[in-house]
Amino acid sequence: MLSAEITAKRLEEWLAKHGRRFPWRRVKDPYRIMVVEFLLQRTRAETIERVYDEVFRRFPDVESLATAEITDIKDIFSRLGLLYRAMRLINIARDVLKNYGGYIPSTIEELLRLKGIGVYMASAILNFGHGIPTPVVDKNVMRVANRLWGETRESNIRKFIEELYKHSNHRAVAYALIDLGSLICREKPRCSECPLNDVCPKLPLLKEKWRMQRKVIIVGGKVILKEQPVTRICKIK
């Protein structure tokens, strides 16, 4: 297996040449990252890109969003097909304003206490917004890790990624893994375009649907996911 240092370097270089250039990747603002990640949970990034400037022109900070009414954001959320989630985002902003003085929390414990924020979103806010090295693992990253490291459990994948972070810009590596999974290491991978092609064992994709009983435990500021696979449903290729 390639060392963590070289793997991280290759990922960073690949991102610089081939990564997606969304406007939120240029900012290190926890509020913006929180709003964008909330929207990304249910919508394609390209769709969010179209309303990005408008969202932050109208709601530049936590306070403006927290004091908004549903009618104020209805038009934007309708265009995204997310009207049913608009109030949830306003409530997160209200919670942040009331309990944290408008400052987006910078610990995983506090973020997970906000209703509507889960492990992925909290990790993204910490990493991309606050600059705290935190693994950001979505289903695309899990697919890469599955083939590259033979790992299917998120708790173990987070450990692999923490090793990469020790040798790199954690933000760049996190975005590289997300892009690699969504652009190249897809269900049908395009290995010839992958920066890890020569070292990846290209392990068969275990399409395990872990019906997880997942419990989040925080130890020393780190997320420990207690996963209990209940059923392994299928295996492909």
Q: Which residues bind ligand SF4 (CB under 6 A)?
A: 144, 147-148, 184-185, 189, 191, 194, 196-197, 200, 202
Nearer to ligand SF4, 27 or 183 (CB): 183
Contacts for 81-86: CB closer than 8 Å, 24+ residues apart: 81/42, 81/43, 82/39, 82/42, 82/43, 85/38, 85/42
Nearer to ligand SF4, 64 or 182 (CB): 182
Least distance from ligand SF4 to the Cβ atom of residue 184, Å? 5
Its sign, for the CA torsion 160, 226, 150, 187, is negative
Nearer to ligand SF4, 23 or 150 (CB): 150
Nearer to ligand SF4, 82 or 145 (CB): 145
From 225, 235, 231, 217, select the one nearest 109 (Cα to Cα): 217
* Opening angle at CA 65, ends 64 and 68, nearest 5: 90
Least distance from ligand SF4 to the Cβ atom of residue 206, Å? 13
CA distance to 11, 124, 185, 206, per residue, from 151 (Å):
18, 21, 15, 9
Nearer to ligand SF4, 205 or 216 (CB): 205
Least distance from ligand SF4 to the Cβ atom of residue 215, Å? 29
- Cα torsion for 118, 119, 124, 129, to the nearest 10°? 70
Least distance from ligand SF4 to the Cβ atom of residue 191, Å? 3
Q: How far apart (Å, rounded) are the C-alpha atoms in residues 158 and 154?
A: 6
Nearer to ligand SF4, 32 or 147 (CB): 147
Least distance from ligand SF4 to the Cβ atom of residue 195, Å? 8
From 110, 40, 100, 36, select the one nearest 66 (Cα to Cα): 100
From 112, 134, 237, select the one nearest 186 (Cα to Cα): 237
Least distance from ligand SF4 to the Cβ atom of residue 180, Å? 7
Q: How many residues does the chain have?
A: 237
